[in-house]
Structure 1
Amino acid sequence: MKKILVLGGTNFFGKKAVQLLLDKGYDVTLATRGNKANPFEGKAAHILLDASEPEHAGWQRVKAENWDAVFDNICYDASDAHIRIDKFGKQLEHYYFTSSLAVYDGAKDGFVEADFDPTAYHIDPEKQVDYGEGKRQAEQVLFTKAPFKVTAFRFPIVLDEDDYTKRLHLYVEKALNNDTIQFNNPEAKINFVKGSSAANAIVWVIENQQTGSLNISSRDSISRQTFIEWLQEMTGQTVKVDYTQETITGSPFNTRENWYLISDKIEAAGFGLDELESWLKPLIRTLATEMKASQ
């Protein structure tokens, strides 16, 4: 039985991954700040830990154990990455962490893993660290300095019924309320990954000990115009949409250029990807039905 430490793991797809690991018989320990109750009480052990604080007392409990693998859903920047290297050191076999599509820069018809090489990336200490830059820096530190094996999960926007960010919920609500949706470019393509598929991929990669950076998304992508068409079909509403060149706020799926992953690498390794239409349209319908029922 593998002994796995999960940093985070009490929310959304991290929680789904923990449940899958438990279902498969893994010995799982959660390390969290304790802001939420352990949803796996009696099934997974819990360590109280602020992982961004190197002097936090919880690290003593973490270091007292030998872990076969660590899955980290809360490593956000270079500072976090340096703390992980210091605390886990050579005693850890394999470290897996959540990265992002946001590591990629520029306009391209789909990003592949080679479009961002963390080992060749130079960290500019003067650069403002937003979410994408934080993930780039975390990858750079881990892939160039860690004494253990490293795997980075590069996800696009993750969607599901229990998505706490409610980004898809926002568009469904706008459609039902006859509010206008704004996008800059109707032809710009995007893709997503379902929360349950993200969890399945995490567990599959851990079980198959894949290393390096891995894009994990739907197999295909769709234009913003196609998204609007699916939104209309699944909500039964005529959606008002404004395609504008003005700066847009409050439209989380908006980008001026293509913004999607090509995940051929993990599929070639044996993990099956989903087609967007197979789950995104039913998800929109489910959310619309729930919202109508609550009105």
Structure 2
Amino acid sequence: MKKNILVLGGTKFFGKKTVNLLLEKGYQVTIATRGNTPHAFGDKVDHIILDARDGFHEGWREVTSHSWHAVFDNVCYTKEDARLIIEKLQGNMEQLFFTSSMAVYQGDKDGYEESDFDPFTYTIDPEKNVTYGEGKRQAETVFYTEAPFPVTSFRLPIVLDTDDYTERLLYYVEKGVNEETIRFQYSDVLVNYVKGSEAAEAIVWLIEHEKEGIFNISSRDAIPVQTFIQWLEEGVGKPIQVVYSGQPEPDSPFSVKHDQYLVSDKLIREGFELSTLEEWLKPLIRELRAQVENK
């Protein structure tokens, strides 16, 4: 029997890639979305209109009328979202897979490992300002301390690909092609990212193998910002004018004040092969350059 998988979200970027890969592998996939973004899956998926943040939305009736081998939640951002999933789906699914973020980690460290944020011991402060990172910390804490079902979370850095709707890498490629100055805070901080297609492959692999727990998913290595600039110069075929200001650069999406990268050795030890940055980031820069030049 084909496994029945519910995907909350899944119409954009690596969520879309994950759905396509699940379909290729023969899973029976249902997507649940608010219906604001058309999906490209045709009749290959069932589609439930659902606002997953509204506990009274009529779509929950259909969602809870089924049993799910797995639920992939790509749209949970807060403790309230997490508690609603627990309330609605306990007893209706075997395992939850949840998109978290590198943003759960805090402070300057030589690479973040999964143990650097422990949702089992984290105390939710109701008075704390809920940023994106804090929302993900609280959501993880609720899932791991309150859910009656197994939970797997994916902690991702910035995700890049040709269809990245945030266009963060495209920002730098366009600057390079147009010979405009690029600004960073520091040149020697270490960073890493993950390619959208590889993120989807890792997520599907974890679902297939029913892995439980917390997993960083990133490139297997990290590079200093100055190496990224060198690769950008190679990719656009022009020297890059760059300023390292020592000050926050909010308009420069890859600019950070200290090392910010994931150590994904745990996933590798489990048996999934991750790529190095050079293997995919250099070709991706060239692909985006061609997009810019062909506009």
Q: Is the shorter-chain TM-score for this pair beyond 0.5, marking a shared fold?
A: yes
How many residue pairs get aligned? The number is 294
Specify every segment of 5 or more residues in structure 2 that has no aligned partner in the other structure, as ranges. none
Cα drift, residue 38 of structure 1: 2.7
Matches within 5 A, 1:264-283: 264-283=265-284
The aligned counterpart of 1:248 is 249
1: CA distance, partners of 2:228 / 2:187: 9
1:221 equivalent in structure 2: 222
Report the equivalent of 1:28. Answer: 29
Q: Structure 1 length normalisation: TM-score? A: 0.99
Shift of 1:275: 0.6
Q: 1:88-237 to 2 correspondence within 5 Å?
A: 88-237=89-238
CA distance in 2, matches of 1:90, 1:119: 22
Cα deviation digits, residues 62-92 of structure 1 (max 9, x gap): 0000111000100001010000000001332
Letter in 2 for 1:60: R
Q: 3-state SS of the aligned residue for 1:284?
A: helix
Provide the residue aligned with 1:18 in structure 2.
19
Is the contact made by 1:102 and 1:132 (CA closer than 8 Å) also made in structure 2? yes
AA in 2 matched with 1:41: G
Q: Deviations over 1:227-281 (max 9, x none)?
A: 0000001101110100012231210111110000000000000000001001000
- Secondary structure of the 2:159 match is strand
Alpha-carbon offset, residue 37 of structure 1? 1.8
CA contact (8 A) 2:64 2:92 kept: no
Identity percentage over the alignment?
Answer: 55
Matches of 1:241 and 1:220, distance apart in 2:
24
Q: Which runs of 5 or more residues in structure 1 are unaligned?
A: none
* Aligned-partner Cα distance in 1 for 2:250–2:77: 24
> How many angstroms apart in 1 are the aligned matches of 2:271 and 2:247?
43
> Once the 2 structures are TM-superposed, how far is the Cα of residue 157 of structure 1 from its aligned partner?
0.4
- Taking only aligned residues, the RMSD between alpha carbons, in angstroms, comes to 0.7
| Structure 1 position 78 matched with structure 2 position 86 | no
Matched position secondary structure for 1:17? helix
Q: With structure 2 as the length reference, what TM-score do the two structures score? A: 0.99
